[in-house]
Structure 1
């Protein structure tokens, strides 16, 4: 099935926007609009990640110098931390993707790899 769609014209065709991605705030824009704050679920997941990292540090982990094997509790705690770390990274990546897609649709500047 082929669908013909008309080309969408951006709302501000001459606009150029600089975006600075940060840690405390998700993004800061160069055109004076308010900064995009981190969403609540990102802050919650970050707190969970901090707690799990502390738990992992209290367990008997692997020793690079001594060659000590990690304990099973350390392995389980590390697996939980890695799972939450992937979730936090995915949440941030998704939010940034949606933000930049919206900016690209709004402004007229576009580029492509050739």
Structure 2
């Protein structure tokens, strides 16, 4: 009989709201599913983390301190094409969908709960 080990999903949440980002790493559901959750406050920190360890899923918004989220998404698309790119959008900001077109695989209205990614 062979045993199969489930590989952990590597999730990178990029948001300058540390409480929001930490809600993913301290969530019972992501822990139970065996997800490895990392957080970053801005695009530069996120890219540094991606250089160290590739993420399976990148969740970000466009309005970040420093470099905007679309720079992160375009870099991730080019350098980490297998990572699922999720853009968090403000439903009242129609331009965020236009900016993210072609860069993100999916859009979710912010704020989201960790269970929405499972």
Structure 2 length-normalised TM: 0.21
The structure whose RCO (Cα within 8 Å, separation 6+) is larger is: 1
Name the structure with the higher strand share. Answer: 2
Computing the radius of gyration from Cα coordinates, the structure with the larger value is: 1
Structure 1 length-normalised TM: 0.21
